[in-house]
Amino acid sequence: MDIVYTIWLRSMKRYVRSKSRIIGSLGMPLFFLLVLGYGLNSVVRIPGSAGQGYTGFIVPGIVAMSVLFTSVFSGIQIIWDKQFGFLKETLVAPVSRLEIMLGQTLGGATTACIQGSIILVLSLFMGLSITSMLGLLIAAAFMVLIGLSFTALGIAIASKMEDMHGFQLIMNFVIFPIFGLSGALFPIDSLPSWLRSLTLLDPLTYGVEGVRYGLTGTTQVHPLAGFVVMTGFTLFMLVAGAALFRKVTG
């Protein structure tokens, strides 16, 4: 497990040293919180929102969004390492590719969860009230599952690509529909039946609702069902990511 820890530590050091990356990753989530949260809070009423209004409703979705985008785009590190030769040096080392992939995944998921936690802390100053410490732990567990699964997805796609710009375009094409259908910004129970069915096919929906249940005590999907789906999706993506990473060349 030394190689897993070493690669994880490398990811963390790169993250901590890149102040612009930390600040830049907060831009879109804060925009959604301020513009949508404050802008629509007085005109939008969410049934069963525990009196927190629209701002309280979208905070869990924005936290999940921050984890999602940070995690999937951490896969670009694979392409970066390819272009600068670091990946080739790692692959010829006497370690398994599974350990390398796990180290990259854990590093990306950790940075994603840190970003989500920053948004969560900032949202406390915007009026969010957390139901309990147990709820906070539940939300953290779902954040970890989102981070692991979508970091593995990013690594899986990056393993088959050579160009950073192409990776970013493809990830935007994949991730924006996943986020848009997740119910992060709107209650899924109010959707037409055909659109609600699509929403329930989106794995991120279960992560968002899990975070929402932990932070506000309200949910539109049973939290146990959400945990089972997210755990299964995470395991699937870890296996798929490891399988594709085994075929990568430096």
Q: Where are the beta strands (DSSP E) in the chain?
A: none
Helix (H) or strand (E) holding 19: helix 19-24
Between 133-158 and 76-83, two packed helices, what is the crossing angle to 10 degrees? 40
CA 223 to chain CA centroid, Å, is 18
CA 16 to chain CA centroid, Å, is 18
Share above pLDDT 90 across residues of the chain, in percent, rounded to a whole number: 32
Cα(17)–Cα(22) distance, integer angstroms: 9
Tokens 């997740």 belong to: 182
The Cα-based distances of 75 to 24, 94, 154 in angstroms read 17, 23, 4
Question: Buried b vs exposed e over 139-153: b needs ≥16 C-beta within 10 Å?
Answer: bbbbbbbbbbbbbbb
Structure tokens at 82: 């390819």
- pLDDT tens track, the chain, 250 positions: 678 888 889 888 888 887 777 787 788 888 888 777 666 666 666 665 555 677 778 889 999 999 999 998 888 888 877 777 767 777 766 677 888 889 999 999 999 999 999 999 888 887 777 778 898 999 999 999 999 999 999 998 888 877 777 887 888 888 889 998 888 888 887 788 888 888 999 999 999 999 999 988 888 889 999 999 999 999 999 999 888 888 776 5
Cα(151)–Cα(145) distance, integer angstroms: 10
pLDDT in tens, 61-92: 999 999 999 998 888 888 877 777 767 777 76
Whether the model clears a pTM of 0.85, i.e. scores above it, the answer is yes
Torsion of CA 18, 21, 22, 25, to 10 degrees: -170
Three-state SS at 69: helix
Q: Is 201 in contact with 211 (CB distance < 8 Å)?
A: no
Cα(39)–Cα(146) distance, integer angstroms: 28
The type of residue at 166 is G
The Cα-based distances of 241 to 10, 104, 150, 153 in angstroms read 20, 11, 10, 6
From first CA to last CA, the distance across the chain in angstroms is 22
pLDDT in tens, 167-197: 878 888 888 899 988 888 888 877 888 888 8
Three-state SS at 202: coil
